[in-house]
Amino acid sequence: MGQRVVLIADAQGDDWGLMTPLLGALSDVGAMTELFTDCTAGLLSAVRGGTDLLVIDMDTPSFGGLDSLVKIGRIASRVPVLLLSTEDSNARRMWAVEVGVVGYVTKPVDGQALARFVAKVLRGY
């Protein structure tokens, strides 16, 4: 049985070109990826257990602002979390470090490079 990755992203958004190579690379390493376009549903799925990595595109319309940030902080203590965002803010990066996410990646980013990073996280760094 492969590792389980929960991916929260906007399937209709401009960044879908980034997600396609990521999904392919996850499949190549045997990860079972569950895609959610609704942030709340994705977060709930991630905390139910069995999630090896949670990848969140913070630009997803259903992200939910501060409420979602608080939930991510709670989840990051139990599940590795990788955040993707167009916001290149030092304050957001510092918050990410404080809550313990494994990575905060600003977009645009090469999909294959992102996939390699995710594969490394799944291997345990």
Pairing between strand 32-36 and 53-57? unpaired
Helix, strand or coil, per DSSP, at residue 55? strand
CA proximity to 62, closest of 85, 42, 38, 43? 38
CA 15/CA 57 separation, integer angstroms: 9
- φ and ψ at residue 4, rounded to 5 degrees: -100, 125
Q: Identify the segments of the chain with pLDDT beneath 50.
A: 1
CA 50/CA 69 separation, integer angstroms: 21
Top-level CATH class of 4-122?
A: alpha beta
pLDDT for residue 90: 93
Its pTM stands at: 0.85
Domain ranges of the chain: 4-122
pLDDT for residue 30: 81
CA 89/CA 87 separation, integer angstroms: 6
Q: What's the chain's length in residues?
A: 125
Helix (H) or strand (E) holding 90: helix 90-99
- φ and ψ at residue 6, rounded to 5 degrees: -100, 125
